[in-house]
Structure 1
Amino acid sequence: MSLTQAQPASGREARETVAPAVDLVLGASACCLACVFTNPLEVVKTRLQLQGELQARGTYPRPYRGFVTSVVAVVRADGLCGLQKGLAAGLLYQGLMNGVRFYCYSLACQAGLTQRPGGTVVAGAVAGALGAFVGSPAYLIKTQLQAQTVAAMAVGHQHHHQSVLGALETIWRQQGLAGLWRGVGGAVPRVMVGSAAQLATFASAKAWVQEQQWLPEDSWLVALAGGMISSVAVAAVMTPFDVVSTRLYNQPVDGTGRGQLYSGLADCLVKIWRQEGPLALYKGLGPAYLRLGPHTILSMLFWDELRKLATRGQHQGT
């Protein structure tokens, strides 16, 4: 089942679809709700992914060792509120990126493109690329805010932003408009791959769960099960790009706005592979899955329930 068109049930007609503009609002809202619950996992994942830079440069502090101990380390350094570092920027990113992504994917469904062979994958990838580009400045700020901590626990470059607006002002003043899209070359492939995998595998997984008839066809548990299966594929294909994207966004820049550690996506991939080994591309996989899993499940669940309410409201309005 695609995200914007329900498959016909046995002996019943398909449910009415909603307009792309409505899917924009519902998709953004659902993913923002999910972000509130999964942002602490994003904080831990970001710091684990940045930790290898210190080792590559000849210093070997490892304040973050595994998921549980990393959570404890964050709380000790920054308090319980530290687990929600970058939440405002995360909500902004989820709203922008997923609003655009759901809107574009809904347009593709409306045009019948997803009914063609491979259409779901292509539509998901294109929609994800556009969403990633629009949301890139928010992701840049989110990453930099989540990396900030006390000196003893710091990994990666510390930008010392005080707020989302303060970060926007600093980046704009020092690097200009282009600086807000620094790192977008790593973000677009990351979201393209993740979006294509999520939409394609969620559709297939949900259809498979329905065919098994383990659960009532219209139950929210069907979307829950489909999201759980989809999350495994998303984490597997997305984590290497996520590591690269985190490094690109957080690296320091010179006076011209060029990265001091990596020149781009390919350079970052090669340096990580050579200096830290291929498994470094899966740094933070545990927290990445623990974040992507619940985020995928909650996003799809919230989206489905909100969409049901919207469809019900359309029927009542007519």
Structure 2
Amino acid sequence: MATSDFVLGGLASVGATFFTNPIEVIKTRIQLQGELAARGTYVEPYKGIVHAFVTVAKNDGMLGLQKGLAPALYFQFIINSFRLSIYSEAMERRWMHNRTGEVSYGLGLIWGAIGGVVGCYCSSPFFLIKTQLQSQAAKQIAVGYQHAHTSMSDALRQIYSKNGVRGLWRGSVAALPRAALGSGAQIATFGKTKALLVEYDLVTQPTLNSFSAGLIAGSIMSVAITPPDVITTRLYNQGVDAEGRGLLYRGWLDCFVKILRSEGVYGMYKGFWANYLRIAPHSTLVLLFFDELIAVRTKYSNK
């Protein structure tokens, strides 16, 4: 695995995160409101995406829309360093190609899932803290469990002092299905779509090709990732007892069953449009930035 690809993958995601973190805050709040309550039986402080933006800005200030930015940047750098460098390596070594030399969607799913799982596990503490900081809100619009963190470093200290290293990786195994589904769908779709756009002479200009493929990959990813994303958000944000055990959910399956029983299928797709508006542009920007950075590196390495 090329070290430069690892770093470039991380830098590409960092650039995109500055633009997409506000919608991530909105997505997290919508996923947490009405937790384990039947539809129509709870107060909704966030009535849609536009209303949520106005509500957060009004009650938490404009900076409230960038809550959790620091751990989000760390999380995105780590997970995408692994995902995109593994994708790049698999593509260069033709591990994603079938016997006829074409990019295989199935192999893309496998390598995308592998990269997602590795990156997700390594970056899990930052996803945990990101979620907990993004859920923090003024009392009148608070949803979900409210953690008393003042910053990323404070959160790291608090969690470690109470539950040790195990506490920092709480929920990490349960987050792996989210990473496998989302990353597999994104990477496989991106690689295959790029090849098809060139093969059928639809979009051959490199930058536009990456942009178009990234947008399509993000759309597919948002459909695949929303249910496991809701579960991951709930697991990471729940409070824990003195032993570090979740107050609401025992694990991934328990969370899935409880959401279906109390909130129905609708609960599994809470925040879908916010998730789509975050993932589609984020995926497009990350994959576009990555391809552009790879092109720049190749240009100067060949001189």
Structural mapping, 1:1-318, within 5 Å: 20-53=2-35, 55=37, 60-116=42-98, 118-215=106-203, 217-316=204-303
Partner residue in 2 for 1:10:
none
Within 2, Cα distance between the matches of 1:126 and 1:149? 35
What CA distance in whole angstroms lies between the structure 2 residues aligned with 1:206 and 1:100? 21
- Amino acid aligned to 1:173: S
SS at match of 2:302: helix
Q: CA deviation at 1:60?
A: 1.9
CA displacement at 1:81 relative to structure 2: 0.7
Q: Do the aligned residues in 2 keep the contact of 1:54 with 1:60 (CA within 8 Å)?
A: no
TM-aligned CA deviation for residue 49 of structure 1 = 0.3
The one-letter amino acid of 1:25's match is V
Which residue does the alignment assign to 2:101?
A: none
**8 Å CA contact retained: 2:36, 2:259:** no
Offset at residue 107 of structure 1 (A): 3.7
Q: CA deviation at 1:176?
A: 1.0
What TM-score, normalized to structure 2?
0.94
Aligned-pair CA distance for 1:185:
2.5
Any gaps of 5 or more consecutive residues in structure 1? 1-18
Separation in structure 2 between the aligned mates of residue 203 and residue 306 of structure 1, nearest angstrom: 17
Give the secondary-structure state (helix, strand or coil) at the position aligned to 1:27: helix
Which amino acid in 2 is paired with 1:64? Y
* Aligned-partner Cα distance in 1 for 2:60–2:7: 33
Count, aligned residues: 297
Percent identity of the aligned residues?
A: 46
Cα distance, 1:113 vs structure 2? 2.4
CA positional deviation for 1:88:
0.5
1:197 Cα deviation from its structure 2 partner: 0.2
Measured on the aligned residues, the alpha-carbon RMSD in Å equals 1.7
2-structure distance, mates of 1:101, 1:226 = 17
Cα 1:207/1:108, change in 2 over 3 Å = closer
Structure 1: 4+ residue segments shifted above 6 A: none
Which piece of structure 1 moves more, 181-190 or 141-150?
A: 181-190
- Checking the alignment, whether the CA contact within 8 Å between 1:54 and 1:156 is kept in structure 2 is no
